[in-house]
């Protein structure tokens, strides 16, 4: 079961301030009575979208203290709660929402991606090598430098590159993946680390490119790529990547993320950062689960540590639609012999889900094809029978749903964890894969909302862009960033702006069992809010111009646009 972490901390303190507001108290006795209870931070003059169904009207101001929202009201009501030490920010009409939380992303993966050297834009081998060498020299000695994006077909002469152009760096192995992933270009340090010499035979299905003298030239093709084993990242490297990714996440307004599949070593670094109060945003993490290793989930999750908790486990039912790995009940329209892949066989998946639920892990399963989603629902229904309770099982992506399965999602209490930008990235080819009938149940978040199935939105960054506004825009327009197609792709599935914001706030909070703590701007909730640099207007391309003015986590301004 997912505990919803209800606490009463700060409630009594907030109750005092709320009652003062309710009684219409004014400075004078109220101020002195407040004494040390003055708010820490006050926002006034805002367009406050509370996402609080219990509250009518349009408040303009928020008071925060001790990490908690203590009052929401008019500017006059809230200003009265300030004192000498209170920071007051006048928002001048800007939109404030509960803190935006990406419900499916890879924060550590973003950090690794930010460090990956991208040579795609380089016009020659020498230019690509220069970028990689500069990046390598900026790293600690001995550390591996990874990159991607080269394509010799775009270079003069169209010849494979060689180690020689990378050998200005001798104490840091460099590994650069070809644009299609089917070859790597490495320096001598990487060849030496992998013990690849003229005497090394080509592996089956692979090729070590060699010169006339038989010496490896520095390009390894297909199965020869596996000869180079890149070591696991050190704790220092993991920490550096998390810090860089977190800085980017708060700059686009995220106050939290659901980190979707990390190993124990990465979780340990998160815990250390959280203990040291070095995590600027909240991280609700899922263990990268191995469904063949049930011992992983036989012990209950560890307790929360500050802003970090890993209480979930993530499995994969199938692959992706683009590579025809998503498992379908009926073959692909554009590949009539192909049903896609089981990444985990249904029986094994059900065993893993049962074991995880029994130990109070929240389960999230990647399921894209209709057959995969069906197998996940089978597993969730069985677990619900065996272990009654509120388990909040999640289906990640939920891209192609059989018509009859929407009702099963609802009945089993599953959360639809959907990424609006996947729809607009996939729309050029999705219908060719699925055909005219199945596409009706694809990327169908309107159907999900209308049935009352809990919806949480995310981005899957770094697969997609990091900014949650990209997802909000895709959700309300069903258009790409260029504004096509006109009118939107299957526009009947659009969300309203309110619903799209709710999916990144209320929905994300519910999806981690934290709806009593976050997801709304309401007294007693954690003081996590996102402030845009303008008042959000029409649900159209103008949304993409909006930037973040302030990101506030636990009452602390963690990002501020200067």
Q: Which positions touch Zn ion (CB under 5 A)?
A: 260, 460
Gap between the Cα atoms of 317 and 172, Å rounded = 38
In the bound complex, what is the minimum distance in angstroms from residue 299's beta carbon to Zn ion?
25
In the bound complex, what is the minimum distance in angstroms from residue 449's beta carbon to Zn ion?
22
User: Which residue in the block uniquely carries the two structure tokens 């607009």?
Assistant: 424
In the bound complex, what is the minimum distance in angstroms from residue 460's beta carbon to Zn ion?
4
In the bound complex, what is the minimum distance in angstroms from residue 459's beta carbon to Zn ion?
9
Q: Which two tokens stand for residue 346?
A: 């249904």
Q: Is the dihedral of CA 219, 221, 224, 226 positive or negative?
A: positive
Our CB check for Zn ion shows the closer of 316 and 445 to be 316
Our CB check for Zn ion shows the closer of 260 and 365 to be 260
Gap between the Cα atoms of 15 and 66, Å rounded = 13
Our CB check for Zn ion shows the closer of 261 and 555 to be 261
Backbone φ and ψ for 28, nearest 5 degrees, come out as 115, -125
In the bound complex, what is the minimum distance in angstroms from residue 325's beta carbon to Zn ion?
14
- The answer to whether 376 and 347 have CB atoms below 8 angstroms apart is no
Our CB check for Zn ion shows the closer of 125 and 426 to be 426
Three-state DSSP class for 250? helix
In the bound complex, what is the minimum distance in angstroms from residue 104's beta carbon to Zn ion?
6
Torsion, CA 155, CA 156, CA 157, CA 159, rounded to 10:
-20
Our CB check for Zn ion shows the closer of 354 and 460 to be 460
Residue nearest to Zn ion (CB): 460
Gap between the Cα atoms of 149 and 122, Å rounded = 9
Q: How many CB atoms lie within 10 A of CB 357?
A: 24
In the bound complex, what is the minimum distance in angstroms from residue 235's beta carbon to Zn ion?
23
Our CB check for Zn ion shows the closer of 104 and 178 to be 104
In the bound complex, what is the minimum distance in angstroms from residue 362's beta carbon to Zn ion?
16
Q: Can you list the pairs that 480-489 forms with residues at least 24 positions away whose Cβ atoms lie under 8 Å?
A: 480/424, 480/425, 480/427, 481/541, 481/544, 483/541, 485/427, 489/423, 489/424, 489/427
Region for residue 432 given its phi and psi (left: phi exceeds 0; alpha: psi -120 to 50; beta: otherwise)? alpha
- The answer to whether 316 and 344 have CB atoms below 8 angstroms apart is yes
Our CB check for Zn ion shows the closer of 95 and 248 to be 248
Q: At what angle do helices 107-115 and 235-251 cross, to 10 degrees?
A: 100
Our CB check for Zn ion shows the closer of 83 and 465 to be 465
């Amino acid at each position: 079961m997912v505990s919803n972490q209800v606490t009463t901390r700060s409630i009594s303190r907030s109750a005092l301030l709320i009652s003062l507001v309710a009684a219409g108290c004014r400075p004078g006795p109220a101020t002195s009575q407040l004494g040390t209870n003055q708010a820490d931070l006050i926002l006034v003059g805002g367009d406050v979208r509370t996402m609080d169904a219990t509250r009518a009207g349009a408040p303009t101001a928020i008071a925060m203290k001790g990490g908690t929202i203590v009052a929401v009201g008019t500017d006059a009501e809230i200003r009265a709660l300030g004192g000498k030490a209170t920071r007051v920010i006048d928002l001048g009409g800007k939109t404030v929402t509960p803190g935006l939380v990406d419900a499916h992303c890879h924060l550590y993966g973003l950090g690794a991606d930010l460090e990956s050297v991208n040579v795609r834009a380089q016009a020659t081998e020498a230019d690509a090598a220069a970028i990689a060498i500069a990046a390598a020299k900026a790293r600690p000695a001995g550390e591996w430098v990874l990159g991607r994006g080269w394509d010799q077909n775009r270079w003069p002469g169209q010849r494979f590159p060689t180690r020689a152009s990378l050998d200005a760096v001798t104490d840091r192995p460099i590994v650069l993946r070809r644009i299609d992933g089917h070859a790597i270009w490495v320096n001598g340090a990487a060849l030496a680390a992998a013990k690849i010499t003229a005497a090394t035979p080509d592996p089956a299905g692979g090729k070590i490119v060699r010169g006339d003298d038989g010496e490896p030239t520095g390009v390894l093709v297909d199965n020869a790529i596996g000869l180079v084993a890149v070591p696991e990242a050190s704790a220092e490297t993991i920490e550096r990547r998390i810090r860089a990714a977190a800085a980017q996440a708060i700059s686009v307004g995220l106050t939290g993320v659901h980190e979707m599949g990390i190993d124990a070593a990465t979780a340990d670094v998160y815990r250390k950062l959280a203990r040291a109060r070095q995590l600027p945003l909240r991280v609700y993490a899922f263990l990268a689960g191995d469904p063949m290793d049930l011992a992983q989930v036989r012990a209950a999750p560890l307790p929360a540590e500050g802003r970090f908790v890993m209480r979930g486990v993530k499995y994969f039912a199938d692959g992706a639609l683009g590579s025809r790995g998503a498992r379908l009940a009926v073959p692909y329209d554009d590949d009539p012999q192909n049903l896609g892949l089981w990444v985990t066989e249904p029986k094994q998946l059900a065993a893993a889900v049962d074991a995880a639920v029994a130990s109070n892990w929240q389960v999230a399963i990647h399921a894209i094809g209709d057959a995969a989603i069906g197998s996940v629902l089978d597993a969730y229904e069985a677990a619900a029978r065996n272990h009654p309770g509120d388990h909040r099982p999640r289906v990640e992506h939920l891209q192609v749903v059989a018509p009859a399965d929407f009702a099963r999602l609802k009945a089993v209490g599953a959360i639809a964890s959907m990424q609006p930008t996947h729809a607009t990235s996939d729309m050029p080819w999705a219908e060719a894969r699925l055909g005219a009938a199945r596409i009706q149940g694809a990327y169908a978040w309107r159907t999900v909302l209308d049935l009352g199935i809990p919806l949480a939105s995310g981005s899957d960054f770094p697969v997609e862009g990091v900014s949650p506004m990209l997802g909000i825009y895709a959700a309300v327009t069903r258009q790409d960033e260029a504004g096509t197609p006109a009118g939107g792709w299957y526009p009947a599935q659009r969300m309203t702006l309110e619903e799209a914001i709710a999916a990144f706030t209320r929905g994300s909070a519910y999806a981690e069992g934290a709806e009593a703590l976050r997801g709304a701007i309401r007294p007693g909730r954690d003081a996590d809010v996102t402030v845009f640099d303008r008042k959000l207007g029409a649900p159209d391309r103008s949304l993409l111009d909006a930037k973040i003015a302030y990101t506030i986590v636990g009452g602390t301004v963690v990002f501020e646009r200067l």
